[in-house]
């Protein structure tokens, strides 16, 4: 029975992906930049087995049915087609972090699945082709294939849309202190939200300005320039959430505690601390700081009434086979 196990990290976007030019192929409307999150991981085993009557998904030891299984089956069809394979698969996956709460679990899920399924099917894919494959499962998953700090080139079509590393994990000791304000599964998944992006009158100006933000962010990472980084990362996150809130129908991912953390981080920076925030499609706040400030930032975040706990993640490596 051909089987393989892969591990990958979720990633946090500094310049966000929100809206596709082609929803089916997940060709995004703009490039995005992210960092893989070490310490948080997904481990997935894929076994193609002639005794399976259909594809099976077991997530954190519990069998999964419905839309999540369907999404995995559609993805496995892609791999079967590429490998000219007819067997069904058993997919067993474990996450060591809360799912569906703004820590892109779909990113690490489909990055690990792309690697494990392609290896189990006997395909030996390049990093580019793995990233393209993972993109088919979830857009942000293509950024969890390469290591460290990553840019996803939007491209024009299936062949040209994939992610590459812009700096290895050890390039910059940036730390993501993830303030968990809620562990509930979000009401509107990002795939549904992405499809609404074009209904906001703010999406067009957000996209028109994206090359400027990408350039500033990429250069700030290469120069390890925290001040330039902080300003553009917060602005990009605010722009994406403005698009979400002005879509038809509107999407509100924030909770009261989300705004409390935002305002606290802004005040800390005014007081001279090198810290900034970014928020994905959920209520939790990713508070970014430098290694030497990790403990005080973590402890201060834990004191805030709306914060349940704080997860710490440093720059993570590429997806890999175990
Ligand atoms: C807000 O990659 O989860 O985290 O392609 O529909 O699976 P699908 O969307 P997904 O969207 C991620 C959105 C985001 C921003 C980002 O990670 O760039």
> Residue 298 sits in a domain of what CATH number?
3.30.70.890
| Ligand 1 pocket mutation pick from 14, 17, 107 by most atoms within 8 angstroms of CB | 17
pLDDT band at 295 (very low <50, low <70, confident <90, very high): very high
How far apart (Å, rounded) are the C-alpha atoms in residues 304 and 318?
33
| Ligand 1 pocket mutation pick from 190, 200, 254 by most atoms within 8 angstroms of CB | 190
Q: Measured from the CB, is residue 104 less than 6 Å from ligand 1?
A: yes
pTM of the model: 0.97
% helix, strand, coil for the chain, step of 5: 40, 25, 35
pLDDT band at 189 (very low <50, low <70, confident <90, very high): confident
Domain end residue (candidates: 170, 192, 219):
170
Contact indicator for 42, 94 with CB cutoff of 8 Å: yes
Beta-carbon neighbour count of residue 62 at 10 Å? 7
Domain end residue (candidates: 147, 170, 193):
170
How far apart (Å, rounded) are the C-alpha atoms in residues 50 and 95?
27
User: Is 52 found in the same domain as 86?
Assistant: yes
pLDDT at 184: 75
Q: What percent of the chain has pLDDT over 70?
A: 97
Q: Measured from the CB, is residue 8 less than 6 Å from ligand 1?
A: no
pLDDT at 85: 96
User: Is 234 found in the same domain as 108?
Assistant: no
Q: What percent of the chain has pLDDT over 90?
A: 93
Domain end residue (candidates: 141, 170, 199):
170
- Counted domains in the chain: 2
**Neighbouring residues of 168: CB distance < 8 A, sequence distance ≥ 6:** 147, 148, 149
User: Is 209 found in the same domain as 162?
Assistant: no
User: Is 233 found in the same domain as 84?
Assistant: no
**Residue 320 domain flag:** no
Mean pLDDT to the nearest integer, 82-108: 85
**Residue 321 domain flag:** no
User: Is 131 found in the same domain as 144?
Assistant: yes
């Amino acid at each position: 029975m051909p089987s393989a196990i892969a591990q990958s990290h979720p990633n946090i976007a500094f310049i966000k992906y929100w809206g596709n030019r082609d929803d089916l192929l997940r060709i995004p409307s703009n490039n995005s930049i992210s960092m893989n999150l070490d310490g948080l991981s997904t481990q997935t085993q894929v076994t193609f087995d002639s005794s399976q009557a259909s594809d099976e998904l077991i997530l954190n030891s519990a069998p999964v049915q419905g839309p999540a299984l369907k999404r995995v089956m559609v993805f496995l069809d892609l791999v079967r087609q590429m490998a000219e394979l007819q067997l069904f698969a058993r997919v067993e996956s474990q996450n060591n972090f809360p799912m569906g709460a703004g820590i892109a679990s779909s990113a690490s899920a489909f990055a690990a699945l792309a690697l494990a399924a392609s290896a189990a099917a006997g395909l030996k894919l390049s990093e580019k082709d793995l990233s393209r494959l993972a993109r088919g499962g979830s857009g942000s998953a293509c950024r969890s294939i390469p290591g460290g700090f990553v840019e996803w080139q939007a491209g024009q079509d299936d062949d040209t849309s994939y992610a590459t590393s812009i700096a290895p994990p050890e390039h910059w000791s940036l730390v993501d202190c993830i303030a968990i304000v809620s562990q509930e599964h979000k009401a509107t998944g990002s795939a549904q939200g992405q499809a609404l992006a074009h209904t906001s009158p703010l999406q067009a100006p957000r996209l028109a300005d994206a090359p400027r933000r990408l350039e500033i962010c990429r250069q700030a990472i290469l120069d390890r320039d925290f001040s330039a980084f902080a300003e553009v990362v917060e602005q990009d996150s605010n722009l994406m959430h403005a698009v979400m809130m002005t879509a038809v129908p509107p999407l509100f991912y924030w909770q009261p505690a989300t705004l409390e953390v935002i305002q606290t981080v802004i005040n800390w920076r005014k007081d001279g601390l090198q810290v900034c925030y970014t928020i994905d499609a959920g209520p939790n706040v990713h508070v970014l700081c430098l290694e030497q400030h990790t403990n005080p930032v973590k402890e201060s975040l834990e004191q805030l009434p709306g914060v349940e706990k704080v997860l710490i993640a440093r720059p993570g490596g590429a997806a890999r086979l175990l």
